[in-house]
Chain A
Amino acid sequence: MFPGIYDTHIHVGWHAPGVFEGSRGETLLRDMDRAGVLQAWCCHTSALWTPSRGNRDTLALVRSHPERLRGLMVVYPQYPEVTSRALAEFDSNRRWWIGLKLHPSAHRHPLSGTGYERALAFADERRLIVLVHTWGDGHIQEDYSWQQEIRGLNGHEELRRVLERYHDAIFIAGHSLNGHWEHAAKLVRGFPNLFLEISTVNDRGAIAWLCERAGSDRILFGSDYPFVSMRYTRGTVEIADITGADRENIFRRNVERLLARVEKG
């Protein structure tokens, strides 16, 4: 029996530019089953876009499916008071949260900026997972001009700056600095607490290239569901020119190791 995949990057909720059908709790679990995903780490879109709602929708969903979901708490760099309140409740709800989610381009704040300092220090002290939206110049950027305009907020230089400061938090580069594969591999080699997440890493040969240069023990499966099909992203790994051991690492072994470390604290 297929032992199941850990998806380290999914969302639920609404999607302003489109129809987000199939991302509510009940359909999420069905889609996870169909794609062979055992556990997913999620944040609700309301947590990303509506600071006044904060992370309550993520928490409610995770609490209703604790065996399948873990939450990523969104940090708002522009609203330190909201972030402070959220972090104050993190420890008491620790069993639901796997770590933090930072989206510098959505929140228009550089990853190494002061707005993230408190949260990153918090994560570093607790050795938490920190999933960061990162982007280079991957192929979808041509129709995503905002990604181009604000890429500097979550590109490789910003990532390097925080990695130089925080050595105990586990950073996951969402989208593996999409398109800037050389920088992604170089940073992984330089910083043992950095992992790459492969949603939107669709370029032909890119996953094999990253396995060879960064090591499959530092690459995590993530789909960015429902923006991207979970099944399609699984396909990018299944068809990649890598070994079975590499696939095992990406699908689950690396996360199992991380979970052991996170649970230990």
Chain B
Amino acid sequence: MRFLDCNAWLGISPVRQVAPVLTTSEFVETMRREGVDGALVWHVAQYYDGPTPGNEMLAEEIAPHPELTGSWAILPDADWEMPSPDELFRRMRNARIRALRAFPARHGFFLDGLYCGKTLGAIVENRVPLFLSMRRGTDYASVYSLLREFPRLRVVLCDHSEYSPDRHLLTLMRNFPNLYLDTTCFGLHGHIERFAREFGPERLLFGSGFPEIPFKTTIYEMERLDLPEDARAAIAGGNLERLLSEVRL
């Protein structure tokens, strides 16, 4: 099975870790050793330090590593740090960036039409997936508002808690077909299978949460899912590959 991780990050968090990954080379070596073929990554500086320095650091870090693709963080349209959509896409193309992220609570804005309408409208049209972390910078009320306003936006929710508030997830998944979930700490016992059966395996993406969580922990579970082989393969990597291939920059 080919594993492509949609939710891993580079850099060193200011918050203590038991086993930090100090360099991107070490990240890539660990990834290979643990059986992951490629990853869509972000840089932890995007969250803590901000999108401008973090996006630049991410582009520099992934440049020598073809198995890594990047996701940049966005800010409101009016922010002087935020380029126009055309300019953003041009820079993304040049830096192997195929997805975007937003951390609205951390970065002090609302992820909606008023604050980010131009950018969000453009990423809908260009099918750029937007990754949102339930641990970092958003909540379910904000996700619901965003999807109500931009139902065609391809949103991937990441970093779920083990104690999953799945009433939110079930309702949002039923009503917004462009919503996807990653597998990082996903849900109560058996929920990957349950969500795959109810919404189709194409709405789930393998995500590890590395380097906080080992790649291997999620792989261990993925390999034992009570799902057909093709469904497991789609979750492991096929779905991310498809989403990224449909991006128009």
User: B224 and A231: CB pair below 8 A?
Assistant: yes
Q: Does B214 contact A (CB under 8 A)?
A: yes
Q: In the bound complex, do residue A229 and residue B135 qualify as a contact, i.e. CB atoms below 8 Å apart?
A: no
Determine whether B141 belongs to the interface, using a CB cutoff of 8 Å to chain A: no
A235: interface (CB < 8 Å): yes
Main SS class of interface, B: loop
Instruction: Decide if A239 touches B216 in the complex (CB within 8 Å).
Output: yes
CB–CB B18/A209 < 8 A? yes
Q: Which 4 A-B pairs have the closest CB atoms?
A: A235-B220, A205-B19, A239-B216, A226-B189
B163–A227 contact, CB under 8 A?
yes
Q: Of B54-62, B118-126, B165-173, B238-246, which binds chain A? A: B165-173
Give per-residue flags for B201-231: 1 if the beta carbon is below 8 A from chain A beta carbons, else 0: 0000000011111101110110010100000
Measured CB to CB, the closest approach of chain B to A200, in angstroms, equals 6
Q: How far is the CB of B42 from chain A (nearest CB, A)?
A: 16
Interface residues of B (CB under 8 A from A): 17-19, 134-136, 139, 161-167, 170, 185, 187-191, 194, 209-214, 216-218, 220-221, 224, 226
Docked-complex contact B190 and A19, CB < 8 angstroms: no
Q: Which residues of A contact B217 (CB under 8 A)?
A: 202, 232, 235-236, 239
Complex CA–CA separation, A204 to B170 (angstroms): 29
B220 touches A232 (CB 8 A): yes
- Surface stretch bound by B, among A98-106, A140-148, A153-161, A163-171: A140-148
**A-side binding surface: helix, strand, loop or mixed?**
loop
CB-CB under 8 A from A17, the residues of chain B are: 163, 165, 167
B159 to chain A, nearest CB (A): 8
Closest B residue by C-beta to A10: B189
Q: Is A91 in the interface zone, CB < 8 Å from B? A: no
Interface string of A17-46 (1 = CB under 8 A from B): 111111100000001001000000000000
A contacts, CB < 8 Å to B = 15, 17-23, 31, 34, 139-140, 142-144, 181, 200, 202-206, 209, 223-232, 234-236, 238-239
- The answer to whether residues A22 and B210 also contact, given A143-B134, A206-B18 and a CB cut-off of 8 A, is no
- Supplied contacts A203-B213, A206-B18, A224-B162, 19 more A-B pairs, CB within 8 Å: A18-B188, A19-B167, A20-B188, A21-B188, A21-B190, A139-B135, A139-B212, A203-B212, A204-B17, A204-B210, A205-B214, A209-B18, A223-B189, A227-B162, A227-B188, A228-B162, A231-B220, A234-B220, A235-B218
Could you show 21 A-B contacts with beta carbons less than 8 Å apart? A18-B163, A18-B167, A19-B167, A19-B170, A20-B188, A31-B190, A140-B161, A140-B162, A140-B163, A181-B18, A202-B209, A204-B210, A204-B211, A204-B214, A226-B189, A226-B190, A227-B189, A228-B162, A235-B218, A239-B216, A239-B220
Q: A19-B166, A142-B135 are in contact. Are A235 and B221 (CB under 8 A)?
A: yes
Minimum Cβ distance to chain B for residue A45 (Å): 12
Min CB distance, B166 to chain A, in Å? 4
In Å, the complex CA distance between A238 and B211 comes to 18
Residues A230 and B162 in contact, CB atoms below 8 Å apart = no
Contact B189 A235 (CB under 8 A): no
Contact A31 B167 (CB under 8 A): no
Across-interface contacts of A227 in B (CB, < 8 A): 162-163, 188-189
Task: Report Cα–Cα, A24/B211, bound state, in Å.
Answer: 35
Q: A228 and B135: CB pair below 8 A?
A: no
Residues B165 and A18 in contact, CB atoms below 8 Å apart: yes
Bound form: Cα–Cα A15–B191 in Å: 14
Cβ contacts under 8 Å, A232 to chain B: 217-218, 220-221
* Closest A residue, CB atoms, query B166: A18
Set A19, A22, A202, A231: member contacting B185, Cβ < 8 A = A202
Selected contact of B188 from candidates A34, A181, A209, A226, CB within 8 Å: A226
Q: Give the interface centre of A15, A204, A223, A238 by most chain B CB atoms within 10 Å.
A: A204
Contact check, B18 vs A205: say whether CB atoms are below 8 A apart.
Answer: yes
B217 smallest CB distance to A (angstroms): 5
List, in ascending order, chain B residues with CB within 8 A of A231's CB: 189, 220-221, 224
Residues of A within 8 A of B139 (CB): 143
Return A189 CB to nearest CB of chain B, in Å: 18
